[in-house]
A and B are shown apart, each in its own frame.
Chain A
Amino acid sequence: MRIIIAGDGKVGSTLTRQLVAEGHDITLIDAKAEVLEVSEERYDIMAVQGNCASMATLKRAGVEEAELLIVMTGADEVNLLCCTIAHGMNPNLHTIARIRNPEYKDQIYQMRHLFGLSMVINPEGQAAIEMERLIKYPGFLKRDTFAKGKVEIVELRIKEDSKLCNVSLYELTNIVKCKILVCAVLRNSKAVIPDGNFVLQAGDRIFVTASTRELTVFLKNMGIITHKAKRVLLCGGGRLSYYLSKLLVQDGIQVEIIEQNQDRCMDLANQLPDVTVVHGDASNEFLLEGEGLGECDALVTLTGVDEMNLFISLIGSNAGVPQIITKLGRLSNNNILEKISVGSTISPKDLCCNDIVRYVRAIRNQNGAAQAVNVIADGQAEAIEFLVDENTKHCEEPLKKLKLKKNIRVAGINRHNSFEIPNGDSFYRKGDAVIIVTGRDEVIYQLNDIFLP
């Protein structure tokens, strides 16, 4: 598929890598020639230098033949203008624009047809939703939901004193006494799709599929104490802080924001009357302690500088904060971060890439397209949700008889609101939602792609 990506920034280049690997023809537009040069040398793409909202540039990038335009420049207004113009030049074009300003968010979604938009992406808004989920149900490093929120894949780290240490997956059910499935393991920065003989070790990061109900049981039996967060401290008062505070306040959680810029503090205090806004430098240990770092249930670091976030998270972890969430913008190499305890890391750009990738696969495959695509295990594995329809092969056949490709696992079947962890005798039928975990050796566009030819 021919895809134009305008704005070769953090998200733009992450998307480029992903979409090139999936076999799409990418044309990048950016105003800066130097940025484009780097991308051109790294990926097999074409680069066009210019203003993406101008017709001439769009024309040079081949907008008339393209199928999808993804606009990720720094300015919302430019993104909108670019999509509107491109849609005018090619009415069949799908367009995705990033809109980050909270003031625009809702109105643009409502008027998206007026602007020729197919999809609006708001990375900060999405990251806020993700963080809220983590704070509401602590104990996990990361959680992704499927089947309209009924099924989850959560990430856990096996500590040395854990009950799961040196346990093979066969014995797992006896220990945790609930129905869960370990669908992927990240060991020494390498993702493995494990089978029953696989033995868990300390230091592994495991990805567990379970229904939301079973998850609570799992946590209890594992001895992970979860108490509802009552007080959350946010460092940095950007857009993400705003979105997150709004969500947390709705949940009845006490929120405090520390922000350095006086004017921004005033804005936040005005927009969020239920939130305590503190003016000060969040990297100052005394300030943090004075604001009750020791007593808060969760610390979320959301400043614009990754290094600063990591540093504040380390302070928090030293002070014994039970839950820490670190936002990463530029850095996303989690391998290195594993060695220091900064809690969960969330990268808004990866989240919005997931959504766009799902959208791209859906265009390519109108029927039987994935309902959700979530990249897990540091980008080395993927959990995909499909709906079983009349075209799906091997309906109602037991899974043990199916020949699946290497590194692919059926991680869950959801039927009429009841979730089943599949075993060899399980089967799926039309109308079920099936969750597939794959090692990303190849792209799975539809459910039938998982079978050996």
Chain B
Amino acid sequence: MNYRMMGKFISRILAVEAVFMIPALLISIFHAESESVFGFLTSIVITLATALLLYLVCRKARKGFYAREGLVCVGISWIVMSLLGCLPFYFSGEIPRFVDALFETVSGFTTTGASILPEVETLSMGNLYWRSFTHWLGGMGVLVFVLAIGRGREKSDGYTMHLLRAESPGPKVEKLVPRMKDSAKILYFIYVFLTILNVVFLLFGGMPLFDALCTAFGTAGTGGFGIKNDSIAGYSPYLQNVCTVFMLLFGVNFSCYYMLAIRQVKNVWKDEELRFYLGTVFASILLIAWNVRGMYGTLGETVRHAAFQVASIMTTTGFATTDFDLWPSFSKAILLGLMIVGACAGSTGGGFKCGRTLLLIKSLRRNVRQILHPRKVQVVRVNGQMVTERVLDNTNAYLAAYAFIIVFSFIVISIDGFTPMTNFSAVLACFNNIGPGLESVGPTCNFADYGLLSKSLLIVDMLAGRLEIFPILILFSRSTWSGK
């Protein structure tokens, strides 16, 4: 295993992280919050020192970076990044217990949005900003960012593909253009552009700049940390609708935007995953609006709340405008289903991904037909292209790993004695990077009451969910660390 090369990557990631802490520091200074100024200063110094130390130790890395190194590197870098990212909360004393601070940060970087804070509004401005910004950074991935700003494109090798594959969600990750650096740049350009658009729309609706920035970060990363106790409920209907639209936009595969930009509108329109995603969203909105009719005053309000909640859960954001825990069972069941399906592959959202669900449905349909017509040779096609058996096998394996982790986590966190529904939805909400679950972890509640073991497990679940299981799972495998 090429540890030095990994160290070099991680040192770059930490340097980027330290640089991104500076705006939060400035905000703290501006608002004269002495504790958080101290918190950020110490954190920046520690992060930079760690980065420098790693760089000095790993400077002379030999070449040779393969799939295993790529996976392990992504897994470890996310863990290290979270450990250092939680320092501002811890040092400023605003989240006094370390595991809570770590939970909050991992929840931020993995764009989960699950919180252990009963009173969000008590946080200082600097920490609120940093908390929301972790969403934005984690949404597209820090490694992708490092690849985009990294050294000259001529010198890059194929190994960067391993990093992109490990960090970007989806069953089949492909570059947009031949060069990795250019692909990463395009992704970040789209990401920044959409985020700015979102901020502008929010400002237009009269939202204060700070709120607009934090909300846009939460939306862009499909994270879901609100800066108000009641999430988005306190804002005007216009602002809620803006959030709905942008959440849905960030749940779309970013390569669709690239194809739009290079005027391949037809390919976008014909994209089966996008159709599946939008179809599911609209069907769910209709069903829920019908189911919760009468709970709200007007039809418009009903549809608005239904659409917001569906968009929020499907894209795994986790904002809320209403306490959907009070909705009838049917609606809650739909939301639970959406939690699992998740957003499109190649978006900032989490979950099992629409693309994989589509593949599973298609391969299931094929297998059923195979029973009726055993000698028929059938291939699974998506967007007119044959899907190889290997991709299908990987998807099935992913489903198995996904199911095992949910069952295992569900059993373990049940030790803390909450109701099965709470525990089940808590696992789903963390593992799929959504945030709020149902009952005791519903949109108006939080994860503060879980014990140390459960919180630690949920932290691992969040990371595993964001990185699509294998980069984290591989860290627990003995064969990763043995041998050369």
What residues of chain A have their CB less than 8 Å away from a CB belonging to chain B? 2, 21-23, 25-27, 33, 39-46
How far apart are the CA atoms of A2 and B178 in the complex, in Å? 9
Within the complex, the shortest CB–CB distance from B265 to chain A, in Å, comes to 15
Count of A-B residue pairs with CB < 8 Å: 40
Q: Name the contact of A41 in the complex, choosing from B153, B162, B174 (C-beta under 8 A).
A: B162
A43 partner residues in chain B, CB cutoff 8 A: 157-158
Extra contacts, 10 of them, besides A25-B178, A43-B158, A46-B175 (Cβ < 8 A), are A23-B153, A23-B154, A25-B179, A40-B158, A41-B67, A41-B159, A44-B157, A44-B161, A44-B179, A45-B158
Identity of the chain B residue whose Cβ is nearest the Cβ of A33 in the assembled complex: B388
How far apart are the CA atoms of A280 and B232 in the complex, in Å? 85
Q: Name the contact of B178 in the complex, choosing from A22, A33, A42, A44 (C-beta under 8 A).
A: A44
How far apart are the CA atoms of A112 and B301 in the complex, in Å? 69
Known: A25-B178, A26-B178, A46-B175. A41 touches B161 (CB 8 A): yes
Contact across chains for A27 and B178 when beta carbons are under 8 A apart: yes
Q: Name the contact of B177 in the complex, choosing from A22, A41, A46 (C-beta under 8 A).
A: A46
Report the count of interface residues on B (CB-CB < 8 A).
Answer: 19
A–B pairs, 23, beta carbons within 8 Å: A2-B178, A21-B154, A23-B153, A23-B154, A25-B178, A25-B179, A25-B182, A26-B178, A39-B158, A40-B161, A41-B66, A41-B67, A41-B158, A41-B159, A41-B161, A41-B162, A42-B158, A43-B158, A44-B160, A45-B178, A46-B174, A46-B175, A46-B178
Contact with A along B141-183 (1 / 0, CB 8 A): 0000000000001101111111000000000001101111010
Identity of the chain B residue whose Cβ is nearest the Cβ of A23 in the assembled complex: B154
A26 partner residues in chain B, CB cutoff 8 A: 178
How far apart are the CA atoms of A21 and B153 in the complex, in Å? 9
A40 partner residues in chain B, CB cutoff 8 A: 158, 161
A46 partner residues in chain B, CB cutoff 8 A: 174-175, 177-178
How far apart are the CA atoms of A302 and B180 in the complex, in Å? 40
Known: A33-B388, A41-B67. A25 touches B158 (CB 8 A): no
B157 partner residues in chain A, CB cutoff 8 A: 42-44
How far apart are the CA atoms of A105 and B161 in the complex, in Å? 40
How far apart are the CA atoms of A41 and B177 in the complex, in Å? 15
How far apart are the CA atoms of A42 and B175 in the complex, in Å? 14
Contact across chains for B177 and A44 when beta carbons are under 8 A apart: no
B388 partner residues in chain A, CB cutoff 8 A: 33
How far apart are the CA atoms of A44 and B180 in the complex, in Å? 6
The 7 closest A-B pairs by CB, nearest first: A25-B178, A46-B178, A23-B154, A42-B158, A44-B156, A43-B158, A41-B158
Task: Tell me if A's interface is mostly helix, strand, loop or mixed.
Answer: mixed
Identity of the chain A residue whose Cβ is nearest the Cβ of B181 in the assembled complex: A44
How far apart are the CA atoms of A23 and B157 in the complex, in Å? 11
How far apart are the CA atoms of A25 and B154 in the complex, in Å? 9
A25 partner residues in chain B, CB cutoff 8 A: 177-179, 182
Within the complex, the shortest CB–CB distance from A47 to chain B, in Å, comes to 8
Identity of the chain B residue whose Cβ is nearest the Cβ of A50 in the assembled complex: B385
How far apart are the CA atoms of A151 and B28 in the complex, in Å? 72
A22 partner residues in chain B, CB cutoff 8 A: 154
How far apart are the CA atoms of A41 and B161 in the complex, in Å? 6
B162 partner residues in chain A, CB cutoff 8 A: 41
Within the complex, the shortest CB–CB distance from B361 to chain A, in Å, comes to 23
Identity of the chain B residue whose Cβ is nearest the Cβ of A21 in the assembled complex: B154
Within the complex, the shortest CB–CB distance from A5 to chain B, in Å, comes to 11
How far apart are the CA atoms of A360 and B177 in the complex, in Å? 20
B154 partner residues in chain A, CB cutoff 8 A: 21-23
How far apart are the CA atoms of A25 and B186 in the complex, in Å? 15
Within the complex, the shortest CB–CB distance from A156 to chain B, in Å, comes to 32
How far apart are the CA atoms of A21 and B157 in the complex, in Å? 9
Within the complex, the shortest CB–CB distance from A383 to chain B, in Å, comes to 22
Identity of the chain B residue whose Cβ is nearest the Cβ of A60 in the assembled complex: B385
How far apart are the CA atoms of A43 and B182 in the complex, in Å? 14
A-facing residues in B414-445 (Cβ within 8 Å): none
Identity of the chain A residue whose Cβ is nearest the Cβ of B70 in the assembled complex: A41
B175 partner residues in chain A, CB cutoff 8 A: 46
Identity of the chain B residue whose Cβ is nearest the Cβ of A39 in the assembled complex: B158
Identity of the chain A residue whose Cβ is nearest the Cβ of B183 in the assembled complex: A46
How far apart are the CA atoms of A80 and B159 in the complex, in Å? 34
A41 partner residues in chain B, CB cutoff 8 A: 66-67, 158-159, 161-162
How far apart are the CA atoms of A238 and B93 in the complex, in Å? 79
Within the complex, the shortest CB–CB distance from B385 to chain A, in Å, comes to 9
Identity of the chain B residue whose Cβ is nearest the Cβ of A43 in the assembled complex: B158
Within the complex, the shortest CB–CB distance from A273 to chain B, in Å, comes to 50
How far apart are the CA atoms of A5 and B67 in the complex, in Å? 25
How far apart are the CA atoms of A44 and B164 in the complex, in Å? 12
How far apart are the CA atoms of A326 and B157 in the complex, in Å? 32
Within the complex, the shortest CB–CB distance from B11 to chain A, in Å, comes to 22
How far apart are the CA atoms of A41 and B175 in the complex, in Å? 12
Within the complex, the shortest CB–CB distance from A41 to chain B, in Å, comes to 5
Within the complex, the shortest CB–CB distance from A35 to chain B, in Å, comes to 13
A45 partner residues in chain B, CB cutoff 8 A: 158, 178
Identity of the chain B residue whose Cβ is nearest the Cβ of A27 in the assembled complex: B178
Within the complex, the shortest CB–CB distance from B451 to chain A, in Å, comes to 43
How far apart are the CA atoms of A244 and B179 in the complex, in Å? 41
Within the complex, the shortest CB–CB distance from A341 to chain B, in Å, comes to 32
Contact with A along B97-110 (1 / 0, CB 8 A): 00000000000000
B156 partner residues in chain A, CB cutoff 8 A: 44
Identity of the chain B residue whose Cβ is nearest the Cβ of A26 in the assembled complex: B178
Within the complex, the shortest CB–CB distance from B425 to chain A, in Å, comes to 39
Identity of the chain B residue whose Cβ is nearest the Cβ of A59 in the assembled complex: B264
How far apart are the CA atoms of A79 and B365 in the complex, in Å? 39
B66 partner residues in chain A, CB cutoff 8 A: 41
Identity of the chain B residue whose Cβ is nearest the Cβ of A65 in the assembled complex: B262
How far apart are the CA atoms of A44 and B66 in the complex, in Å? 13
Identity of the chain A residue whose Cβ is nearest the Cβ of B176 in the assembled complex: A46
How far apart are the CA atoms of A197 and B278 in the complex, in Å? 74
How far apart are the CA atoms of A33 and B386 in the complex, in Å? 12
Within the complex, the shortest CB–CB distance from A222 to chain B, in Å, comes to 40
B179 partner residues in chain A, CB cutoff 8 A: 25, 44
Within the complex, the shortest CB–CB distance from A197 to chain B, in Å, comes to 30
Identity of the chain B residue whose Cβ is nearest the Cβ of A45 in the assembled complex: B178
Contact with A along B171-199 (1 / 0, CB 8 A): 00011011110100000000000000000
- In this complex, the member of B67, B156, B160, B177 whose beta carbon has the largest number of chain A beta carbons within 10 angstroms is B177
